[in-house]
Structure 1
Amino acid sequence: MRAQYAGDPAETPLKYDLYRMPFRGGQGGVPEPIVGASGNGMSNTFPKVSPDGKWIVFVKCKNGQLMRPDGKLWIVPVAGGTARELQCNTSRMNSWHSFSPNSRWLVFSSKANTPYTQMFLTHLDDEGNASPAILIPNSTASNRAVNLPEFVNIAYDDLVRIEMPALDHVEKGRRALALAKQGNVEQAIALFDEAAKTASRASRLLDNRDERLTNRVRHQLEHYAQRKRFYPAGAEAIGG
């Protein structure tokens, strides 16, 4: 019987341990298991070393590596030792973490609130204790996932702007639909075309299939607006 979901008892057992290897000028050496992140009967994955060289934060789960509902962030000294679960963990699927340049902040993804990962932030003190997680609002659209968030090592006043195409095209699409429902078909189509261009810039994957989809939605907007004109009180009931 094949596994149907993450954590299914039918899953193939797959557990990882974390190892360290001496650099030796690029020659490498014998890998050694990291105490606290290996041999614990769990799967230990996605290690990130803090820039100050003091800590390793990794994901611990029962099995596997990716998309684990029980994934939690743990911290252990770089030299190995007692690992601790970070206090910032949410209730579901914590992963994709990254340190700030000063090693005092950690950004990570979680599915605690939605089926899509959202971005969270926590502060680490000198002892590696984490503050409760703070959700970073408006970091993506409601139907988009946040994966592999990273800090940008620049001064705050060097940031010119932040573009979030995933949010832009969704908002424009909603406004276009609202205009179509009001019978403003020309404005709705123009706004939807803007949304489609924004989406294509975001994905860089606009192909013939996407063009057909765009045309189909434009046709649906026109159709809805036409029905609204003829049946102003019942367009939605008709299926527009």
Structure 2
Amino acid sequence: MTITPFETNLYQHLAPFFAEHGFTLLPEKKQFRRINTSGFQNIILSSVFCVDDTMLDVNFGARNDQIEQIAQQFLNNQPDFRLDANTFLLSVARFSGFQSSRYKIHSGEALSDVCEKIELFFNKQGFDFLDSASILSTLDLLLNESPNQPCQFVYNQTHRCYKGLIAARLNHNPHFEGLVDSYRHLLIRLTQNPYEQLHFERLIAYLQHYSAN
């Protein structure tokens, strides 16, 4: 994957900061990643180049290997992307309640200013949230607290049905059967694809007989 001069400059600004917190730059994946006991945490930097400005979107999230190893058996994802799949992912803007989802950068000075804002966010809130949300019980809560409403911690609400249900089962959530009904009906509203619904029913059957070691 091609890395632009803007991205090279961006990584040079942010790499020392994230390295101090144990994150490794993976430029080919356009992210910083930190491995932990449950999977990984990551910060993904996406750039869109306009005529006069560059728009930068910053997303952060984590992967729970146990959830993903089950989910990827039932989701229709390309095999090459399965090992990189996030369990939750959201933008800094969405987390912070900003109206604009992207940073606008038009100069080197603006880039430095944006990088300072990114570092401040992670020092104040981002790193703490990543650590707490990487815990299975917290992840269960984030995905399943309001099963009939869109979840702000994932972009694909269909995948949320799968991963939320898996998290609930692994965490021995007492409302598991209720979540089965909620997500079954939600999936019907989200997609009329019979194959999707068939895969979800297979996941339900799998989880109902699943016993974690």
Normalised by the size of structure 1, how large is the TM-score? 0.33
More helix by share: 2
**Structure number, greater radius of gyration:** 1
Report which structure shows greater RCO (CA 8 Å, sep ≥6).
Answer: 2
